[in-house]
Amino acid sequence: MMEEELTPRVLLTEIGSYASGDEALYIATVRNLVRAGYQVHLASRIPYRGAMVKAGLNVEETLLPLDMLLPPLSAAGDIPRVLRGQFPEMYHRIVGLVETMQAVLVAPGGRFLEQYNTVKAMTTAAVAMERGIPVYHFPQSFGPYPAERDVLLASFLAGAAAIAVRDDHSLAYLRSILPAGKEIIPGRDMIFTEMYPVSKIESFELGLNLRYGFNGHGTLDGIQALVRHYRRERPQDRIAAFTTTHPFPNELTRMLETEGISVYPDTIRYPDYLHLPASCDLVVTESFHGSIFAMLAETPFLMCRPDYDAWKFLGSGSVEGFPEYRGPGDAEQGKALAMVAAKAQCDLDNLRRRQQASLVRNRQAAAAALHTLLDRMPDRVKARAG
């Protein structure tokens, strides 16, 4: 019998959103894992292999919709037990998948938030830990959670082989609920490890990256007020509206077109994340990843509070000195945001200079966290071959 080295096979789980930022996160994570010598298998709630192929990445994929509803639980160890009792077919399917892996990786993002289904986001990783498979959390935002949910999250993370966070608020929060000796790797969003092409589509003085509908703050009245009050201040400016989250519904597209806005209603796809931000002198974004895309395009941005008042920008951009504004949730908020945007047009060079300095620091922090995570992960696996 001889020993040979086998490429470690890892499962990247919690692939479940077509938003531009999530797509970019998943692609960035897979690309870095492949570069490091891992064979990546996706556990996806929605089909994602096509996006990976477009990015030049060859991965396997298993669809795990996890659409069953588990009851509220207070300990992560209860998840496999309840799943096995109530949904045995899904339990055994997950077991069969994770037991072919050397590690399970929870994809980066912001799924550990009060308004999302926390137990669902934990299910695959919880089963893996029950079966003795190490679990690694790629850079996440965690919380805010109400106190009664802290116990569940703490029990879930206690069993992780490594945890990385992408913002300082999440770092402080986890330090407050986890044992003092538990390592938490500070980092930044995985998108900061990527490079994208930049090509201007047209030229606009203002770009509006709008999050409308599910987990968004904007309303038709608020967005219309934003546009109209901005136009009163700067009537000659050309304005584009686009999305890095959900496609615009017809009522939003019609309203924007009536206001004379150039509308790009479809969610931006890989690798074109920077084209529209680069076409604008200033971007007002309701998307956290929209702010990163603007930064990568060297376009100054103003960040509105993201979905569900999450910490992801407060714990990263705000600590860099960039304020977080209220989105256009009603006419008054839309007017206030318009005034801020009009004023910012007079300070673009200073804003760009500060944000580009922040970009350098964010890239360095993201790279350092990735290096530390990969250092904690399984090395090439020894196996006997005849």
Domain ranges of the chain: 2-194+364-385, 204-362
At 136, the amino acid letter reads Y
Q: Are 315 and 169 in contact (CB under 8 A)?
A: yes
| Residue 279 phi, psi (nearest 5) | -85, -5
What whole-number distance in Å separates Cα of residue 44 and Cα of residue 72? Answer: 23
- Interaxial angle between packed helices 118-130 and 147-158, expressed in degrees from 0 to 180 and rounded to the nearest 10: 30
8 Å CB contact between 362 and 139? no
Q: What is the pLDDT of residue 215?
A: 75
Buried b (16+ CB within 10 A) or exposed e, 178-191: beeeeebbbbbbbb
The answer on pLDDT for 279 being more than 80 is yes
CATH of 2-194+364-385, one of 3.40.50.2000, 2.40.50.140, 3.30.300.20, 3.40.50.720: 3.40.50.2000
Q: Is residue 291 within 8 Å of residue 242, measured between CB atoms? A: no
Residue 380 has pLDDT above 90, yes or no: no
Long-range contact list for 246-249, CB < 8 A, 24+ apart? 246/19, 246/211, 246/212, 246/213, 246/214, 246/216, 248/210, 248/212, 249/212, 249/213
Per-residue three-class SS string for 291-310: HHHHHHCCCCEEEECCHHHC
| Residue 183 tokens, joined | 């390592």
Q: What is the pLDDT of residues 65-108, one digit of tens each?
A: 888 888 888 899 999 999 999 999 999 999 999 999 999 999 99
Would 2-194+364-385 and 204-362 be classified into the same CATH topology? yes
Is pLDDT of 140 > 50?
yes
Contact 194, 35 (CB under 8 A): no
Percent of the chain with pLDDT over 90: 81
Residue type, 267: T
pLDDT at 157 > cutoff 90: yes
Distance CA 384, CA 386 (A): 7
Does 386 have pLDDT greater than 70?
no
| Res 344: pLDDT | 98
**Stretch 274-300: mean pLDDT:** 96
What is the chain's mean pLDDT, rounded? Answer: 92
Given this model, what pLDDT does residue 115 score?
64
Among the listed ranges 177-186, 232-241, 375-384, which one has the minimum average pLDDT value? 375-384
Q: Which fold has domain 204-362?
A: Rossmann fold (3.40.50)
Contact 288, 188 (CB under 8 A): no
Q: What is the pLDDT of residue 384?
A: 30
**Can you give the length of the chain in residues?**
386
User: pLDDT category, 314, cuts 50, 70, 90?
Assistant: confident
> Is the per-residue pLDDT at 336 higher than 70?
yes
Taking the model in full, what pTM does it have? 0.94
